[in-house]
Amino acid sequence: MTFALGLLVLAALPQAASSPPPTPTTSQPVPSSEVVDTARQWLSLIDQARWDESYRATGASFRKLNTVQAWAKVSEEVRAPLGAMISRTFVSQEDLPAPPSGYEVVKFRTRFAN
């Protein structure tokens, strides 16, 4: 649900077409290709409207707070209006030290048809 609400907020923001993607600096850690690939695969499920599979690929804490029906409904409402995915570029990866085991945050810049 949080992801879907985040998509809704991002969809409402104006696109900064003229701003170039951030350039990595030497102080940033090298991204984990496994984590980035997993994030891309999950987003691909979303792009293909494969709500059940994308839901099953979420963590237990997400599934505890959301049902597959709620996920599918909200995802369809938020994702479908964006249209087809045109391009997706890796922006950054960050390790957030949060309980219980921390989180990997992977950011992409994505262009959609709409």
Q: 49-77 pLDDT, tens per residue? A: 999 999 999 999 899 999 999 999 999 99
What pLDDT is recorded for position 32? 83
Mean pLDDT calculated for residue range 28-42: 86
Question: With bands split at pLDDT 50, 70 and 90, how would you rate the model's confidence at 22?
Answer: low
What is the rounded average pLDDT of the residues 14-25?
Answer: 47
pLDDT the model gives residue 1:
44
Identify the pLDDT of residue 24: 47
Residue 4 has pLDDT above 70, yes or no: no
How far apart, in whole angstroms, are the C-alpha atoms of residue 63 and residue 88?
26
Helix (H, G, I), strand (E, B) or coil at 105: strand
Note the pLDDT of residue 18: 46
> What number of helices (H) and strands (E) belong to the chain?
5, 2
The pLDDT, as a whole number, for residue 68 is 97
Give the closest residue to 5 by CA, choosing from 68, 71, 100, 67.
Answer: 71
